[in-house]
Amino acid sequence: MRLLILGTGWFAQTHAENFSKIEGVMIAAAVDQDPVRLKAFCEKYGIANEFSSLEEALAWNEFDAVTNVTPDSAHYPTTLQCIAAGKHVFCEKPLATNREHAHEMADKIEGAGLVGMVNLTYRNVPELQAARQIVTSGQIGAVKHVEASYLQSWLVSKAWGDWRTESQWLWRLSKKHGSHGTLGDVGIHILDFASYGSNLEIEDVYCRLHTFEKAEGNKIGEYELDANDSFAMTVSFKNGALGVVHSSRFATGHMNDLRLRVYGDRGAVEVQHREDGSHLLVCLGDDVETGTWNQVAVEPVRTNFQRFVEAVSMGITFEPSFRHAARIQDVLDIANLTHAERRAFSLSRDYDGLSPQGNALSGT
């Protein structure tokens, strides 16, 4: 497979490093509007062909698939161009910045018979995959309650850099610079973590968003710091279970931590994912009577990068697909509505114009 890397920012390095290790993959070219960054990227990864625009790369046409690592707002127009040119697409999250565009992208790639997958990176966590297997096997019984959190502390710590002076962090706090806040940035991850791990579909949503005062007038230079810093969401699943999902950039002491707890009427599972490692804990069988939790060892799993390459070779889309990401975008968009109107919404009853392919966030 000859691969084009679209966008050569800092996270594109993760794509280049992963794809370059997969047998049968050649990174044929890269595209970026910044010639200095593009040149350095291509030299680092031994990429022979450089293009300053996607149009130039499509005119060249010597590639089979695209990994789209452009800014969020560019995913929609650039991906549609790639689909029109007959290219398979591996897109960074979120698929789009609104549900209308996301479903259009899913419609287009499905209609073209091409592989479209989204890099929901925490699918690569073996503990999450193992937890899902335990849930789907029936070992914890019927799921009654789900708790999921995504906690970061970069607004109170300089571990990742100083957000007050560095544009790579400041733009994430400013709506006019394309940010949808914590909900838009990591909401897609924790919603996928919760729905995939619990194997449940979200039906009802109620979300509260909050933006904290972070500077005088909540502004630094050209950046208005008006994007949400924290969200707290309650959800009802289609099976009747209740869920709590929350995230914050003010979670002091947490660098980049995800946690999922799934409680059934016969047992429970917990996934802890941190920068320094991941753990799977279970409370099953007789241990339910004593509240005893045991850690479970798990085997490595194939990464999204590996699965995309396999999907293209087979001509079959694997999850997480464009359609799945579009359904998550349904939840993200409706979460903003619930905050504005201060009431819960049902995806199937209240959300007009839902895609006919599905009206809930699928756990599959």
Is residue 326 a part of any domain in this protein?
no
Among 52, 82, 114, give the residue marking a domain's end: 114
Shared-domain flag, residues 148 and 79: no
Shared-domain flag, residues 82 and 130: no
Among 81, 114, 147, give the residue marking a domain's end: 114
pTM: predicted TM-score of the whole model, two decimal places: 0.91
**Distance between first and last Cα of the chain:** 27
Q: Are 307 and 288 in contact, with CB atoms under 8 Å apart? A: no
Shared-domain flag, residues 110 and 132: no
Shared-domain flag, residues 192 and 63: no
Shared-domain flag, residues 149 and 66: no
Is residue 195 a part of any domain in this protein?
yes
Shared-domain flag, residues 84 and 141: no
Is residue 148 a part of any domain in this protein?
yes
147: CATH: 3.30.360.10
Q: Are 325 and 94 in contact, with CB atoms under 8 Å apart? A: yes
Shared-domain flag, residues 221 and 246: yes
Is residue 64 a part of any domain in this protein?
yes
pLDDT digits (tens, 9 = 90+) for 121-166: 999 999 999 999 999 999 999 999 999 999 999 999 998 899 999 9
Shared-domain flag, residues 132 and 279: yes
User: Quick one: the chain helix, strand, coil %, rounded to 5?
Assistant: 35, 25, 40
What's the domain range around 86? 2-114
- Which of 351, 346, 335 has the alpha carbon at shortest distance from 208? 335
Shared-domain flag, residues 77 and 148: no
pLDDT digits (tens, 9 = 90+) for 169-227: 999 999 999 899 999 999 999 999 999 999 999 999 999 999 999 999 999 999 999 99
93: CATH: 3.40.50.720
Does pLDDT of 21 surpass 90?
A: yes
Residue 353 confidence (pLDDT): 44
Shared-domain flag, residues 28 and 89: yes
CA-to-CA separations, 361 to 18, 32, 97, 261, in angstroms, rounded: 28, 33, 16, 18
Q: Are 218 and 120 in contact, with CB atoms under 8 Å apart? A: no
Among 90, 114, 138, give the residue marking a domain's end: 114
CA-to-CA separations, 83 to 30, 48, 64, 77, 222, in angstroms, rounded: 17, 24, 11, 10, 35
Is residue 353 a part of any domain in this protein?
no
Whole-angstrom Cα distance, residue 249 to residue 152?
5
Is residue 321 a part of any domain in this protein?
no
Count of domains forming the chain: 2
pLDDT digits (tens, 9 = 90+) for 294-338: 999 999 999 999 999 999 999 999 999 999 999 999 999 999 999
Q: Average pLDDT over the chain, rounded to whole?
A: 94
Does pLDDT of 350 surpass 80?
A: no
Is residue 144 a part of any domain in this protein?
yes
Shared-domain flag, residues 97 and 133: no
Shared-domain flag, residues 103 and 213: no
